Structure 1
Amino acid sequence: MPSITKHRHISTNFINLVLLLTVLSLLSPATEAQQHRLGIPSCPNTTTFTINSTYQANRDTLLSSLSSNVTRGVFFYNTTAGNSPDMVYGLFLCRGDISTSACQACVTYAATHISRRCPLDKTAVVWYEECFLRYSNRNIFSVVTETPTIYFLSGRSSIVTISEEDRFEKFVLKVINETIAMAESRPVGVSKYVTRVENISSFQTLYIRVDCTPDLSGADCGRCLRRARAYIPAGRQGGRAFNPSCSVRYEFNPFFNLTVVAALPAKGGEKHIKLNRIRILITSLSVIFGVAVVFISGFFIWRRRNSEDKENIHEVQLLDLENEHSKETFSGKNWERSQEFPSIQLDILHAATNHFSDENKLGEGGFGPVYKGTLANGKEIAVKRLSRTSGQGLVEFKNEVLLIARLQHKNLVRLLGCCLEKNEKLLVYEFMPNRSLDVFLFDSNLATQLDWQKRFNIIKGIARGIMYLHEDSRLRIIHRDLKASNVLLDHKMNPKISDFGMARIFCEDINQANTNRVVGTYGYMAPEYAMEGLFSIKSDVFSFGVLLLEIISGKKNNGFHLAKRGESLLTFAWKLWSKGEGMELMDQLLVPSCVASEVLKCIHIGLLCVQEDPSDRPTMSSVIFMLASDGTIKLPHPTEPAFSVGRVVTKSIEPISSEEVFSVNEITVSNFSPR
């Protein structure tokens, strides 16, 4: 009887869980509509007006007119204010599946927000999840405007049920193009808001939305949408691209109001509406069935985890660690003979770290906490303890052990050992008393300890370490996750590159590779890697360029847009350098100690490293040569870095203030991460 009662209790909970998830999935578009205060402004600063000028008065009049002309069922409006040469053109467009009140709230806020974010710009645009609003001193009606184009990408597709990835990408592209064709078929003045819901399998559904301003012709709308679509490869878990005239988005989760969309009049008649309703029903049933499968799978996975010893034995076999290695210590001949697969007993590490106590905790990264330890002989160590819920699994663990054990360079952190016992995955490094570079660089108090000479030495040390990986080690290695937190500092502030869990080994005759799993850190990824999964030694060069500019400025590239009108640190540095004002990028703490020629040279090199085309970036040996030059060598002229690229992080972003809140990657409450 107790077991029967328990099973009934589980069944009841499961049914309640299914119902709750179904309700939440139906409510998600409604809650999403409340995010109109999260926006992405674009203020080119190419043409400005003076305060209290006639143009400003006309602009304010136009913004007021736009916010007061949202009417029921009319989600697009354009108008002008004033006379030439101070005439202002403006328009807004709301999403076709939101309520009139949501459109009104979005446009009203946009009219206020755009004047705050772009106070003196003669032309500006701001995008929100529910609407966008723009104005200009030039005629923008019935004219396609494709710049700036902003796009956001999810990770590479890894959950598709179609076995052939190429077939999957072609299917997604086909459906997107068909949806674009539907919008293209609509004449001037007709809403071009079109959605599609397509079932790829019983477990996966594709959601697509395209939209253009109704004042465009069908041909102009189609051309705009196809160019925007080119920014979002079909082999992703989702993506979105938008500009001042049109937008394209696809996801594998609902992101528009299915009920409202099904009732919208569409160019295609009642047949399309009925098909949409059928798809919605199938989608709902698929969600319920999918949740059931996940629940049942989870139950069986839980049952399989009842024997940790068996799993641990399997893991040891995967790592190719022989039993004799688990008995080794850091002293003796066995250690010297087994440096290819160094291992240490778990009880030694427990004793060294006081059983991984909080007092010994140095910090915590994405893969788990790091602890300080002291061995019996007094040697200090750092122990990275991989979390059981960490994204770093056996492949990354093995990768890091095998790679670091084979590398010897003064600017690479030394791996002293590893441990794989009792379901623990532990990596043991030499202890770095000054922790990581980001701890000093981005702290206004600790940054004072990094004068220019120390920062310049750190830049050169990192460059030497990367060059060793690319050119001088017996293996050609691409790090793929070079960033400030992965540069450790010893007691003399010498840099040592760490964390090789994402690194890849290249054969001597191979210069580039492609991966279906994009890993790394937003803000440091090269555009070809973030967008297409292509990586090479030039991907590391890009990351080094970002890191170099961060060291000079004391600012993070990731999040720099919050204070600089949507710009990344890279585009901001390029604009200053192009105007001959490169020294303004420098951290003001460096003023007393800086050597201007070295600072400007480093900025120049950093901009060469972050160029969009990998072939334009220098190799690390060239970087080291340029860093060592005395200024007599003329460096190439860098091109402008690519515009910021956002990627889905699926993590909420908290507003900075009630007035200055910026948009999100997926535009469903995610981080907007510039490149």
Structure 2
Amino acid sequence: MQISTVSINLLLLVIVLSLLGLAIEAQQPTYLYHSCPNTTTFTVNSTYQANRNTVLTSLSSNSTRGDGFYNTTAGRSPDMVYGLFLCRGDLSTSFCQACVTFATTDISQLCPNQTTAVVWYDQCLLRYSNRNIFSVVAEEPAVRLRNTQNANGTEIPFDQLVAATVVMNMNDITTQTENKPAGSKKFATRETKLSSFQTLYTLAQCTPDLSGSACSRCLQGALESLPTGWQGGRVLSPSCNVRYEIYPFYNLTAVSPQPPPAPEEEKQNKSNRIPVLVASLSAIFGLAVVFISGFFIWRRRNRRDKENSQEVQLLDLVNEHSRETFNGESGERSREFPSIQLDILHAATNHFSDENKLGQGGFGPVYKGTLADGKEIAVKRLSETSSQGLVEFKNEIMLIAKLQHRNLVRLLGCCLEKSEKLLVYEFMPNKSLDVFLFDSKLAAQLDWQKRFNIIKGIARGILYLHEDSRLKIIHRDLKASNVLLDYEMNPKISDFGMARIFEDKNEANTNRVVGTYGYMAPEYAMEGLFSIKSDVFSFGVLLLEIISGKKEQWFSSFRAW
């Protein structure tokens, strides 16, 4: 069967348009952060809103200027609006335009009625205000972001090198300001060898409307708050930004110095060959770029879709538990298992500050939080770098959300937003049992009656898990640090990330032994066999610790893969 030329052309046209569509999608900017305080707002359909819309439209239409920066105003006081955008200095005009165009729409949704707003993307920033923001240094609000990998293992003092390199970038910008007309780009990058196989990449940038001294002052402030001890970090402010990574995050070709011009004679010889080379290679090169770009975009989309599908499954799981009863035996519908908004948890924990950190678990840190109504909570923030974080998150929801007992810690809700995986528990003010047992001063507070009550409470919790709950559950990591104490020193078993559900079996086998040496039953540690007897063995070790006040000797936690 012969395919007509028209059909072939139509097929090729469809393929090219599809790839171009993917390429356009790839230009959608990467959102980083936004700020629009509710302290001042405008009325819907007001003059200020009309002026803001005019400014945003003007910014979008002027994003093709080629210099990556533009500022404009609309209206008159008191409804005057000032606005500007700044694109990363290495971006092409098309990528800058894509970022700014997206930002003008996005900022209206993120900040629907605020008179002052700023939004940052990996490729650009856009801001507007009811006050003059031109040629004025604005260091607040500042956003600190970091790479999740620490900088251990570098052959030289890493943080010192980062600081020194950023300072050199600042000097480069100062030199540019002196040798170029006002309004020119204030943007510098630098590559510094850390070792034979590792390079440090740094970037610094200011809005071009700042003077050289104002730019230096802004960058110096950003440098002082730059996250250290990590393989990458950045500080974003409305007037400047700095960043460092151990991988190239900007266009190396665009920022590399141009080669010196060739002699006239050599130029003439080359000019004769250029049209021939362009004519013969442009089509092949263009198609290759399109298809290769399409492949990588497809792969990235698949990876993103896979990650999103995992989160959707977990959200479905949360909704499923919202529909089910937590107490299947009584048949009564318990209250709904809530999904809590990320901004509420940020406010409750003071943006997960170190001051609110309660401890560090195997899958991430735990923070104390206080809700707006004064209720205290504990928030477990699963680490993005933990390979088992998603598994633990699913286990916690599947198991503890269905369990209700006074000697099990209560799960209040969860949050799945912006790649965060957060679990919210009732707050246990006296922390964990090991804090009291193995501290000579605190141990004195545990008289024999309290120790006996703690032993009984743990036993009741285990009995509920093994026999009385709707599910037969093996905890697999019962130890002193996983027993929390409330205000009255009542014990509550926590951390169900390693737990397993038993159905009609007395024992099971696993290739992945998880838990803590010393608390493990021998058959589980050596052969991977676990059952309710495994938890009973752990309880026996815990019982000896409570009575003697001495810690078991095999204290090394491990996870075998």
TM-score band (shorter)?
A: 0.3 to 0.5
Higher relative strand content = 2
TM-score using structure 1 length:
0.38
Higher relative contact order (CA 8 A, sep 6+): 1
User: Radius of gyration: which is bigger?
Assistant: 2
